[in-house]
Structure 1
């Protein structure tokens, strides 16, 4: 399958790197990037073909749109007469409903909507995929195969994309926020900043790895760390008193609400 990636920014490069890393022939990846210096950089780094015009997508069976949400409606209009028959369009632009893309493309064009996140840059992304009206099971499988080059992929109904955006799309920022708080707390308690950073980062990494590798419920893993009347219990008592769990629920609800507002605005 020949793949066209429109957009050579950070997320576009993450997709390109993932495709090449997973064994796809660089010659089968076409990058459409209007900045000549950026196109040359990607071609040199990954060996992919590059082009400056969207007409290059005529050679592709899958077209990945990795552009800013505000740029997507105009891009979809340009793509209208350029797609080959049966090509699937995969949008990684946050907040754009499949219907908003479909109405700007020829009738019956298969469109897939994806919410990625930034750990895709290191091959540890989490993406949620939703199918448009004309997408077949085989096309969904092909899109999931492409996206799995950057991490894990799950299919969800499109009505759940706002919740996905709030949880995994914005989720890395929450964990960076927690990491920053842990580091600052360590410094306040007398640790050198470099040591506090190392302790916090490896603790977060190790805890996440335990969640994934053991497949245990987080409550059980938390209880294994919490001795009766011990240090962890004392800390958790403060977190509960400060309603940290409720704050996370409220924060994700606010993010989901904002995602819905942006999607509604883009759909108009």
Structure 2
């Protein structure tokens, strides 16, 4: 099974790198990128074989991962006209729906993926959707590839905009939280580097508690809030400032924009 990548940017490199670290052989991964710098970095990171032309990559592969920016997708696919019809297409191109992917590639077996940036460290999460023509083997291959960079869930395509709002944009929300926590620490006299490390490690640990303890986040929160203590005072202040509502409203705004971009 040969897997090809059209585009060799950071996310493509993360996916291919995760594949090689799991069960895939680097000799079975081919790619094309018009940027020599990106191609060189991809080879160095993954050990995959660079193709001089996109046609050579497509012809040699059973599945092709589309990993270019959405504004360049149509142009990047022009040389591959007619070559992708019988291939499995896996797209990480933001905002491009299955129907449009089918029209651009001529393929019927398509997987659309919504990853997030922690996939660059193998800690990603997100969701994917398949066309009706995709086979059980296609589904299995997509899951094998994606599981090498994190946790991914199969969902109907209509729910991918919601996934974008939660996990696709979510890292930015968390970075804002970490920055605010670190700023508070600096205000209280901690060195910047220490405050940032404490904030980031606290988020990491709290996330691990949610994922591994099989306990509702509210219950975990209450376990930290001693009666009359510092934590309950802080939590009450967050509630008074509309912290939870602000996060929900941010996700609603992200969802709305994702829908708008998908309709363009």
Q: Aligning the two structures, in what range does the TM-score lie when normalised by the shorter sequence?
A: over 0.9
Quote how far apart the aligned CAs of 1:192 are. Answer: 1.3
**CA shift digits 1:202-236 (9 cap, x unpaired):** 11111111111112111111111011111111001
Distance 1:45 1:230 in 2: 49
Matched with 1:224 is 223
Name the counterpart of 2:11: 11
Contact kept in structure 1, 2:84 and 2:105, CA below 8 Å: no
2:81 paired residue number: 80
> In structure 2, the residue corresponding to 1:104 is in which secondary structure?
helix
- Structure 2 CA distance for partners of 1:27 and 1:84, relative to 1, 3 Å: farther
Structure 1 equivalent of residue 72 of structure 2: 71
TM-score, length-normalised on structure 1? 0.94
Residue 58 of structure 1 corresponds to: 59
The residue that corresponds to 1:124 in the other structure is 123
Output aligned runs, 1:166-245, within 5 Å. 166-245=165-244
Stretch deviating more after TM superposition (162-171 or 126-135): 126-135
Does the 8 Å CA contact 1:6/1:66 hold for their aligned counterparts?
A: yes
Partner of 1:89: 89
CA contact (8 A) 1:69 1:93 kept: yes
Stretches of structure 1 that go unaligned for 5 or more consecutive residues are none
After TM superposition, the structure 1 stretch with the greater mean CA deviation from structure 2, 214-223 or 39-48, is 39-48
Bigger mean CA deviation after superposition, 157-166 or 134-143: 134-143
2:111, 2:128 within 8 Å by CA — same for their partners in 1? yes
Alpha-carbon distance between aligned partners in 1 of 2:65 and 2:120, rounded to the nearest angstrom: 16
Matches within 5 A, 1:23-34: 23-34=23-34
Q: State the match for 1:40 in structure 2.
A: 40
Q: Give the secondary structure class of the aligned counterpart of 1:57.
A: helix
Q: 2:222, 2:3 → 1: CA distance?
A: 47
Deviation at 1:9, TM superposition (A): 1.0
Checking the alignment, whether the CA contact within 8 Å between 1:59 and 1:84 is kept in structure 2 is no
TM-superposed CA distance for 1:75, in Å, is 2.9
Equivalent-residue separation in structure 1 for 2:91 and 2:149 (angstroms): 15
RMSD of aligned residue pairs (Cα, Å): 1.4
What is the CA distance between 1:24 and its match in structure 2?
Answer: 1.1
Equivalent residues of 2:97, 2:262 under 8 A apart: yes
